[in-house]
């Protein structure tokens, strides 16, 4: 297993608060910041700025939460320091300063540092925003070019308040001319902050012992000669610490700016290069995947009172003190851990799991949410939010299990085993009717928090699925710990609960799983996205899963930009409602993952492609929490950087698209790629299982596929499953038999022909090539998204092969024509509103839906052409 050193937040931040040894007790006269090179990054996203579009720059202990035009609010956990932090520029030509937001022109978003460029006829200012990785502070470095006298005016409205729902009083702010900074403090002087610059000459004055209503402003006259070789710096430091310690941080930020930048570069290199990579024909997918890793690393946050864990998301708090979802969420951490495991971010996952265990309730319940101010208020006893959900406790068991299977970290399992037992027992106490499935109830929510959809709920299928998966987790974990009684009990319960899930929730007349079981004993039969969670865990019987996933693939759930929570056919559907119709990227990922699990890539990949596009269409490099169910646009209430939205790009790609399943404790792994048939070469590298690393390169044509496997580390038994097009026959090895591989096993399935072999990997590259005749594959239909558009794209609901030929079930707008690309045997249309168009060796199915209104479903039968 990879080894990296993670320090606890208290040690980390305590060290950062110590005055640096080289700092004197007197203010330093020279805190200049010589210019250093801002290196180019292959991940840089450069665009024109957009007003009111979120921009986040994040460290472990601090956050710049603002917009692309330069306005921001400043956070150093657990404190919000300021709102409306912004720049203005004073030139002799104008009486009033030029607002930065009026001349902000371009933005360069990088993982390590973000740059806003302000452009005027007389000056260009590049504002580099840096959040040091572990320091409770921020740096703004201005690269100024001007041929006229220029002053930079820095202003902000002081908040100096704990994160929601904490509060403190007696705050005040004053200008300290010795430090060239505003000091923010309170009567006890136990919490302090500095915002300033050694270039400052004048600043606004305000009433003593009070926070001003007017902005705090300080002025930075630009010496153009000096600015040629120095940055104009602004430093921000804060802490729940004595003032001298915070002053030391402030000075240290200025004195060591280049070191903090280089440390961020090193961390980004470790995050990006030391984890899983994909290389596909779609460069935008590859780039979105890299940004998803960067995003998930930003979810790891350290609080000086609470420790280090995984937060749910970030977004400006506006006039309040609730920064998006920038506090610690149990369910979100579990969901995000699946993607972080898949990319090798094991240390962050381990700390996140341990963090939640630290705050486990006495009865075993894992917390749902923990505010950044929880260490300063009676959060765990007096507030109702901490243990609000039921799903977080079984999710925590699943998260630990999946981490252990990926990493083989038995030490963490041993450490947290008492917590596992306690969590397991709490879950058992939530089954009051003896059906082996835990229940919703007051203070024990599952899928739904608000709205009619959740009324009268006894059990919902989301919570049920998480619990059934937790039972499998408990079975394996107990067996590893040698607790045979618990393992046997959990195994029996898993079998019975899974059977109950597949019977009690199934609605034969509707052809899909119900949303939930009601307190009245009936079922809530609405078609929702939530059965996809069970299908992602492969808990559903195949035939029932097929019928449900066919319905989830239709536009009534799967819009062009992702999965709606609730079908458009429901009387409760509302495209603006949080739980009754909005599109959530995180459940979009569950649907995509589920489609891949049941060998339906033509329904899964379009959702992955939509998640990819969100990386670039809204907050650069980030994913919004939720979007309208009617138009491709985030809701105004959506958190702009939501980590479970990001993680649900990685999980369906690695676990679904590539079919990666590690089993480090048993020295095994499985990879089962389902690559679009028109992709000639695709690779994934850096897949980690224990201390072994595996890479796969896949080459394919319409009648051959070759897999090249590389391996480093401990020996691994790798099962490789290749997906051949349905209807393929005469399957054989292409080339000499590899003695390191077991004989090929060919299994014709409903949607493909599976070919599997097991390779013993011990450092030597392995290769397997397969050839076949016949077969036909569908290229997953994707659509280029445009902000504000409606959902009108083609959906492939089903594609299978029988003796009669290939059956395609499609969903589209009535009266509209679509093209659907095919790879393989030349087909002819035997039935349905379609024709085959040839372009050399490529084929396209031209589908015309009959006239009408709304959406329509059509069935098409294809047979091999006689030509």
Q: What is the pLDDT of residues 782-791, one digit of tens each?
A: 999 999 999 9
Query: Is the CB of residue 141 less than 8 Å from the CB of residue 272?
Result: no
Query: Is the CB of residue 668 less than 8 Å from the CB of residue 716?
Result: yes
Lowest mean pLDDT among 37-51, 218-232, 480-494, 730-744: 730-744
Work out the pLDDT band at 598, boundaries 50, 70, 90: very high
pLDDT of 462 > 80? The answer is yes
Q: What's the pLDDT score for residue 23?
A: 34
Q: What's the pLDDT score for residue 867?
A: 67
Q: Is the pTM for the entire model greater than 0.85?
A: yes
Q: What's the pLDDT score for residue 21?
A: 33
Peptide bond connecting 78 to the previous residue in cis, omega within 30 degrees of 0: yes
pLDDT of 16 > 50? The answer is no
DSSP conformational letter for 453: G
CA 338, CA 466: separation in Å to the nearest integer? 13
Query: CA nearest 725: which of 767, 672, 779, 660?
Result: 779
Residue pLDDT, tens place only, 407-453: 999 999 999 999 999 999 999 999 999 999 999 987 788 888 888 89
CA 774, CA 157: separation in Å to the nearest integer? 69
CA 81, CA 167: separation in Å to the nearest integer? 13
pLDDT of 3 > 70? The answer is no
**Which of helix, strand or coil describes residue 460?**
strand
Lowest mean pLDDT among 85-89, 326-330, 689-693, 738-742: 738-742
DSSP string, 139-184: EEEEEEEESS--EEEEEEEEEEEESTT------EEEEETTTTEEEE
Residue pLDDT, tens place only, 552-580: 999 999 999 999 999 999 999 999 999 99
Residue 222 in tokens: 């630009």
| Burial grade of 6 (CB within 10 A; 0-12, 13-18, 19 or more) | middle
Work out the pLDDT band at 15, boundaries 50, 70, 90: very low
H-helix or E-strand spanning residue 606: helix 601-617
CA 628, CA 639: separation in Å to the nearest integer? 13
**Which of helix, strand or coil describes residue 404?**
helix
The alpha carbon of 659 is separated from its chain's Cα centroid by a whole number of angstroms, namely 19
Work out the pLDDT band at 205, boundaries 50, 70, 90: confident
- The predicted model gives 320-339 an average pLDDT of 96
- The predicted model gives 69-73 an average pLDDT of 98
| Burial grade of 300 (CB within 10 A; 0-12, 13-18, 19 or more) | buried
The percent of residues above 90 in pLDDT, for the chain, comes to 91
Please, how many CA atoms are within 13 Å of residue 153, restricted to the half-sphere of its CB? 16
Q: What is the mean pLDDT of the chain?
A: 94
Dihedral, 541, 544, 546, 551 alpha carbons, nearest 10: -140
pLDDT of 654 > 50? The answer is yes
- The predicted model gives 299-316 an average pLDDT of 98
Q: What's the pLDDT score for residue 237?
A: 98
Query: Strands 216-221, 202-203: parallel, antiparallel or unpaired by DSSP?
Result: antiparallel
pLDDT of 841 > 90? The answer is no
| Burial grade of 590 (CB within 10 A; 0-12, 13-18, 19 or more) | buried
């Amino acid at each position: 297993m990879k080894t990296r050193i993670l320090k606890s937040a208290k040690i980390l931040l305590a060290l950062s608060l110590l005055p640096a040894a080289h700092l004197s007790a007197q203010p330093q006269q020279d805190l200049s910041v010589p210019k250093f090179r801002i290196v180019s990054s292959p991940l840089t996203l450069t665009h024109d700025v957009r007003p009111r579009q979120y921009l986040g720059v994040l460290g472990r202990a601090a956050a710049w939460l603002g917009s692309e035009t330069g306005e921001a609010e400043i956070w150093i956990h657990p404190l919000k320091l300021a709102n409306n932090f912004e720049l203005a520029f004073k030139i002799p030509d104008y009486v009033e300063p030029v607002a930065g937001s009026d001349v902000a022109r371009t933005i360069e978003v990088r993982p390590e540092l973000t740059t806003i460029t302000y452009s005027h006829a007389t000056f260009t200012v590049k504002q580099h925003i840096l959040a040091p990785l572990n320091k409770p502070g921020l740096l703004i470095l201005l690269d100024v070019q001007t041929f006229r006298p220029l002053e930079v005016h820095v202003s902000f409205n002081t908040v100096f308040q704990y994160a929601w729902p904490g509060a403190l009083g007696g705050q005040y702010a004053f200008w300290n001319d010795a430090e060239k900074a505003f000091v923010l403090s309170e009567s006890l002087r136990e919490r302090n902050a500095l915002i300033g610059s050694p270039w400052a000459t004048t600043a606004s004055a305000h009433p003593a012992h009070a926070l001003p209503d007017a902005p705090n402003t300080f002025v930075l006259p630009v010496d153009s000669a000096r600015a040629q070789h120095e940055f104009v710096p602004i430093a921000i430091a804060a802490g729940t610490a004595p003032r001298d310690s915070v002053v030391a941080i402030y000075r240290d930020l200025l004195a060591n700016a280049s070191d903090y930048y280089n440390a961020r570069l090193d961390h980004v290199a470790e995050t990006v290069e030391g984890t899983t990579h994909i290389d596909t024909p779609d460069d935008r997918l590859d780039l979105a995947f890299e940004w998803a890793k960067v995003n998930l690393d930003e979810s790891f946050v350290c609080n000086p009172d609470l420790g280090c864990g995984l937060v749910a998301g970030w977004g400006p708090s506006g006039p309040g003190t609730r920064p998006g979802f920038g506090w610690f969420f149990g369910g979100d951490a579990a969901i995000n851990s699946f993607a972080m495991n898949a990319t090798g971010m094991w240390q962050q996952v381990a700390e996140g799991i341990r963090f939640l265990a630290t705050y486990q309730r006495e009865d075993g319940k894992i917390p749902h949410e923990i505010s950044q101010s929880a260490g300063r208020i009676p959060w765990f006893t007096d507030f109702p939010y901490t243990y609000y959900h039921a799903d977080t406790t079984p999710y925590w068991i699943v998260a630990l299990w999946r981490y252990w299977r990926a990493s083989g970290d038995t030490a963490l399992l041993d450490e947290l085993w008492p917590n596992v037992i306690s969590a397991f027992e709490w879950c058992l106490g939530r089954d009051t009717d003896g059906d082996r499935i835990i229940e919703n109830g007051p203070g024990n929510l599952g899928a739904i928090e608000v709205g009619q959809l959740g009324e009268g709920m006894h059990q919902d299928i989301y919570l049920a699925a998480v619990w059934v998966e937790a039972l499998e987790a408990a079975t394996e974990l107990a067996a590893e710990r040698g607790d045979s009684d618990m393992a046997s009990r959990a195994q029996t319960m898993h079998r019975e609960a899974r059977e109950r899930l597949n019977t009690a929730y199934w609605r034969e007349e509707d052809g899909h799983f119900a949303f939930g079981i009601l307190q009245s004993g009936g079922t809530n039969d609405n078609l929702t996205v939530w059965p996809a969670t069970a299908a992602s865990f492969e808990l559903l019987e195949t035939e029932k899963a097929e019928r449900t996933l066919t319905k989830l693939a239709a536009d009534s759930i799967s819009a062009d930009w992702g999965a709606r929570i609730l079908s458009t056919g429901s009387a409760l559907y509302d495209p603006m409602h949080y739980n009754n119709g909005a599109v959530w990227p995180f459940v979009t990922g569950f649907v995509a993952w589920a489609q891949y699990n049941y060998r339906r890539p033509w329904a899964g990949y379009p959702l992955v492609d939509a998640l990819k596009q969100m990386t670039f269409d809204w907050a650069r490099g980030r994913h919004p929490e939720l979007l309208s169910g009617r138009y491709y646009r985030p809701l105004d209430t959506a958190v702009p950087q939501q980590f479970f939205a990001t993680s649900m790009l990685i999980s369906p790609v690695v676990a679904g698209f590539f079919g990666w399943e590690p089993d480090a404790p048993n020295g095994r792994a499985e990879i089962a790629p389902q690559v679009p048939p028109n992709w000639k070469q695709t690779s994934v590298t850096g897949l980690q299982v224990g201390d072994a690393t595996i890479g796969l390169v896949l080459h394919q044509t319409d009648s051959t596929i070759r897999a090249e496997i590389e391996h480093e580390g401990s020996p691994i038994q790798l099962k490789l499953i290749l997906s051949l097009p349905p209807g393929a026959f005469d399957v054989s090895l292409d080339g000499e038999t590899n003695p390191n591989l077991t004989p090929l096993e060919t299994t014709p399935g409903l949607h493909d022909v599976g070919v599997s072999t097991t390779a013993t990997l011990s450092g030597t590259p392995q290769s397997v090539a397969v050839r076949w005749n016949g077969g036909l594959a569908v290229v997953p239909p994707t659509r280029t998204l445009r902000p504000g558009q409606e959902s009108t794209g083609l959906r492939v609901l089903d594609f299978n092969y029988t003796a009669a030929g290939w059956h395609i079930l499609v969903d589209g707008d009535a009266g509209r024509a679509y093209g659907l690309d095919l790879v393989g045997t030349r087909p002819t249309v035997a039935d349905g509103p379609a024709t085959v168009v040839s372009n050399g060796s490529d084929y396209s199915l031209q589908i015309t839906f009959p006239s009408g209104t709304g959406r329509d479903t059509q069935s098409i039968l294809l047979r091999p052409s006689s030509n």
